[in-house]
A and B are shown apart, each in its own frame.
Chain A
């Protein structure tokens, strides 16, 4: 029980703000919001900013430490110690922290399951309240309309604090109108003022919809339709809970995507490697947080260099996982230092086929470069043909390193014969994924392979060095 805990931990005499909370419990909070705000100011309650900021940060899991120190929070949020201690007490009542000695609190759960249960109880309480309140509010919804207009204005201005305040006042007004004191007391103990502050920032995309869902409630109460108003109030709470759950899922997914992006970033070469006799330049830009393109440059102990570029089927997390799997397979094979490139890729194909779900595959160009001989031995498993650009007698020749087999992971027993290509001084080797050639205009015109070849010929004297990795 919120207020019992507060009184037990902090006698009202020591913390004047609790006196205000006691008044709430005694049912004297039929006050206007302005009076409440004035009361907050007079009584030195913590300002909304620290409430919104700290509660939101706890709810979002943004605070990485296991415990909170009141003096540090007061400093960080420009608040005072007494206000923060009272906030700690409120948070304990919500199950978010456990108070310790010396002004500290241990974070218990960043996403309390109790939040969901509280909204389920709220739905039931408000259905009962709405049914009873219709008699008193029939033709008398002026205050509710004012609160709704204020909510709309706050949502428009993204003033989350004001939005919470008007929302709580709106619902509390209905429960007061039900004239069921026990119902109101039970509703108060659920502390929706704080609970809303904990989650309101997650709803920014859906805030307008949440606010507008109050209008039908006003209409039904104004018309004296108690049963309908009760059902609407129940739906309102349940819908709000669904919004919260959706926001929670979105937030979790976003966190997972960020983590996946970090992991993927660690998988690709951190910087452009220095291959003897070659100037290298790399550009990598995923469409989303994580990508399905793959490239790798790997040194062999005997001086050879492995050069890989690929594109896995699909997009997003699935593609990123597949890309990681492909890289692991290739690196595992390279560990064996196989001198037979075809055998190496056939092994990768078999591993990919056996370990990947059906319909998952990857195009892959893999080459081994011998700096001493400038010889390139490669296998192209269904990948866009890399281009070798050569200038002979003042004219530009384009050689394409065509595919010699299907993408890896597509068939169990596909074979990928290796081909050798003798590079010469000043040759360019250009490998790319279809994101380059299939870039399109708003009219769906592809940039295309031919434009790439033409551009390479016209810019062949431009040196290739450094890095342009944007990923």
Chain B
């Protein structure tokens, strides 16, 4: 998902310059791990 967002942003800017630092955190809650933890 991160690659997709960054790709979209870059494509949008086209000839525009990066004007500020870019940071992106993406976290997805895993189904299987959470179930295992809940079972404990």
Interface residues of A (CB under 8 A from B): 275-287, 291-295, 307, 309, 311, 315, 371-372, 374, 423-436, 438-442, 447, 451-452, 455-456, 459-460, 462-465, 468
Q: Indicate which residue in B4, B19, B22, B29 contacts A459 across the interface (CB closer than 8 Å).
A: B4
Contact B27 A440 (CB under 8 A): no
CB of A277 within 8 A of CB of B13, answer no
Contact at B14–A441, with CB atoms within 8 Å?
A: yes
Choice from A439, A440, A451 contacting B22 with Cβ under 8 Å: A439
Docked pose: A410 CA to B2 CA in angstroms: 31
User: How far apart are the CA atoms of A463 and B1 in the complex, in Å?
Assistant: 6
Identify B34's interface contact among A295, A374, A431, A432, CB under 8 A: A374
Instruction: Choose among B2, B3, B16, B27 the residue that contacts A439 (Cβ–Cβ < 8 A).
Output: B16
Cβ of A434: which chain B residues have Cβ within 8 Å of it?
20
Contact with A along B7-39 (1 / 0, CB 8 A): 011001111101111111111111101110110
In the complex the two chains form, is A279's CB within 8 Å of B28's CB? Answer: yes
B15 contact set on A, CB distance < 8 A: 441-442
Closest 3 CB pairs of A and B: A435-B22, A435-B20, A293-B21
Question: Complex formed: what's the CA distance from A106 to B8 in Å?
Answer: 55
Contact A287 B21 (CB under 8 A): yes
Assuming the contacts A277-B33, A451-B12, A455-B4, asked whether A282 and B19 have C-beta atoms less than 8 A apart, the reply is no
Can you list 23 contacts pairing A with B, beta carbon distance less than 8 Å?
A277-B30, A278-B29, A280-B25, A280-B26, A282-B26, A284-B24, A285-B23, A286-B21, A287-B21, A291-B21, A371-B37, A426-B28, A427-B28, A430-B26, A432-B22, A433-B24, A434-B20, A435-B19, A436-B5, A436-B24, A455-B5, A456-B1, A464-B1
Task: Check B5–A452 contact: CB distance below 8 A.
Answer: yes
Please indicate the chain A residues that have their CB under 8 angstroms from the CB of B29 in the complex.
Answer: 277-278, 374, 423-429
- Please name all residues of chain B whose beta carbon is closer than 8 Å to the beta carbon of A286 when the two chains form the complex: 21
Q: CB-CB < 8 A to A281: which residues of B?
A: 1-2, 25-27
Is the beta-carbon distance between B22 and A279 smaller than 8 angstroms?
no
**Min CB distance, B24 to chain A, in Å?**
4
Number of A-B contacts (CB under 8 A): 169
Size category of the binding interface on chain B: 20 to 34
Give which listed residue, A282, A307, A311, A440, contacts B13 with CB less than 8 A: A440
- Contact at A278–B30, with CB atoms within 8 Å? yes
Question: Taking the nearest CB of chain B, how far is it from the CB of A270, in angstroms?
Answer: 15
CB contact under 8 A between A425 and B31, given known A307-B25, A311-B21, A451-B12: yes
- Shortest beta-carbon distance from A457 to chain B in Å: 11
Residue of A nearest to B30 (CB): A277
B: which residues have CB within 8 A of A?
1-6, 8-9, 12-16, 18-31, 33-35, 37-38
CA distance A279 to B27 in the complex (A): 5
Report Cα–Cα, A452/B8, bound state, in Å: 9
Take A279-B30, A426-B31 as given contacts and tell me if A435 and B37 are in contact as well, using a CB distance cutoff of 8 Å: no
A385 to chain B minimum Cβ distance, whole angstroms, is 13
Point out the residues of chain B lying under 8 angstroms from A440, CB to CB.
13, 16, 19
- Which A residues lie within 8 Å of B22 (CB)? 283-285, 293, 432-433, 435-436, 439
Query: Do A464 and B2 touch across chains, with their CB atoms under 8 A apart?
Result: yes
Q: Which single residue of chain B is at the shortest CB-CB distance from A283?
A: B24
Specify which chain B residues have a CB less than 8 angstroms from the CB of A372 in the assembled complex: 37-38
Q: How far is the CA of A372 from the CA of B29 in the complex (A)?
A: 12
- A428-B26, A464-B26 given; 16 more Cβ-contact pairs under 8 Å: A278-B30, A283-B23, A285-B22, A307-B25, A427-B28, A436-B9, A436-B23, A438-B20, A439-B13, A440-B13, A440-B16, A441-B16, A447-B13, A455-B4, A459-B1, A464-B28
Q: Is the CB of A433 within 8 A of B28?
A: no
A439 with B18: CB separation less than 8 A: yes
Say which residue of A425, A432, A439 sits within 8 Å of B25 (CB atoms).
A432
Given contacts A287-B21, A428-B28, A447-B9, contact A442 B16 (CB under 8 A): yes
Contacts of B18 in A (CB 8 A): 285, 287, 435, 439
- Which residues does chain A contribute within 8 Å of B20, judged by CB atoms? 287, 315, 433-435, 438-439
CB neighbours of B12 from chain A (8 A):
439, 441, 447, 451
- Complex Cα–Cα for A298 and B6 (A): 25
Closest beta carbon of chain B to A445's beta carbon, Å: 8
Within the assembled complex, what's the spacing in Å between the Cα atoms of A438 and B28?
Answer: 24
Q: Assess the B23–A430 pair: CB atoms within 8 A.
A: no
- With both beta carbons as reference points, the residue of chain B lying nearest to A448 in the complex is identified as B12
